[in-house]
Amino acid sequence: MAISHLHCLQSVRVAFPGRPSDSNNYYYGRDNFTRKGSSLVYASTNNLNRDLHLQSKVETVLDSVKWDDRGLAVAIAQNVDTGAILMQGFANREAVATTVSSRKATFYSRSRSMLWTKGETSNNFINVHDIFLDCDRDSIIYLGKPDGPTCHTGSETCYYIPVFDLLENQQDKEDKLALTTLYSLESTIAQRKGELEVPQSGKPSWTRRLLLDEKLLCSKIREEADELCRTLEDNEDKPRAASEMADVLYHAMVLLALKDVKMEEVLDILRRRFSQSGIEEKRSRNSQA
């Protein structure tokens, strides 16, 4: 497989990773490889020196990656807030360098033999917050925030074919997203909420009762928060604290479902709060208090 742009990196300016991705002076995308020279914006000597220094560092990191015989490594895009694996592709040197500079998850398409930035046609970019290599340095995580559904099918992630359900002939579940515990619970609660209009025989589930009775729900949230506190105040054991926290989380998530708030929105808030500098954090806290 031909990888025509594999050695182009030397001639490409690389942005400081802390810079915002929309800074035109520092962005370079796939186009720059074909229109080299024409779109470069010349910065001051200081900036140039810093850029050259950074470029050399990026090359050192890229040199340390164990590219396979096709010059590729596996690249996995993961949602920084939910942990959902959004998609998996392959990356070559340029793809990683482009991701570092543009902060948009970029891959190397083996079928089209070219770089592609996820979102370049759909506008559903994956905004990369961090990049990790594994112990063998041949596998990469792009930890980022997607602008919208990642899959070309419109699905939130590309992983929605559940093998065990297929084996059990649960055809109705053929489109079941790979969800981890918190989001699987969120999905169950949302499902119960969706069934509220459907009359049910027999005793209603606890979730259904909570969804139908705001007074009961709020009294449970306050009660569970109190019980969580008492595990500390009364020096109760660890399993008790974990169990009470599970109760707090579950009941609070039922309230979130009623308010149409996703856990992802909550985690987005926490990330923004805690990625701020100490001073900003304190200021934001004081303004809330």
With binding defined as CB under 8 A, does residue 67 bind a copy of itself? no
* DSSP helix/strand/coil, 86: strand
With binding defined as CB under 8 A, does residue 226 bind a copy of itself? yes
With binding defined as CB under 8 A, does residue 143 bind a copy of itself? yes
With binding defined as CB under 8 A, does residue 52 bind a copy of itself? no
Q: Which of 31, 36, 48, 132 binds a copy of itself (CB under 8 A)?
A: 132
Question: Around Cβ 177, how many Cβ atoms within 10 Å?
Answer: 17
Taking the complex as a whole, the smallest distance from the CB of residue 70 to a copy of itself amounts, in Å, to 11
Edge to edge, what strands does the sheet with 73-79 contain?
85-91, 73-79, 139-146
With binding defined as CB under 8 A, does residue 106 bind a copy of itself? no
Applying CB under 8 A, the span of 22-30, 35-43, 73-81, 118-126 interacting with a copy of itself comes to 73-81
Q: Which residues contact 192 (CB under 8 A, 6 or more apart)?
A: 205, 207, 208, 211
Applying CB under 8 A, the span of 28-36, 44-52, 57-65, 191-199 interacting with a copy of itself comes to 57-65
With binding defined as CB under 8 A, does residue 210 bind a copy of itself? no
Q: Which of 40, 114, 190, 267 binds a copy of itself (CB under 8 A)?
A: 267
Q: Which of 79, 92, 98, 117 binds a copy of itself (CB under 8 A)?
A: 79
Taking the complex as a whole, the smallest distance from the CB of residue 238 to a copy of itself amounts, in Å, to 5
Under a CB-based contact definition with an 8 Å cutoff, are residues 58 and 97 in contact?
yes
Question: Around Cβ 228, how many Cβ atoms within 10 Å?
Answer: 21
Report the residue number, 196 or 269, with the smaller CB distance to a copy of itself.
269
With binding defined as CB under 8 A, does residue 190 bind a copy of itself? no
Residue 191 half-sphere exposure, CB side, CA atoms within 13 Å?
8
* C-alpha 3 chain-centroid distance: 29
With binding defined as CB under 8 A, does residue 2 bind a copy of itself? no
With binding defined as CB under 8 A, does residue 231 bind a copy of itself? yes
Residues constituting the chain: 289
Q: Which of 5, 60, 59, 54 is CA-nearest to residue 30?
A: 5
Q: Which of 89, 67, 66 is CA-nearest to residue 77?
A: 89
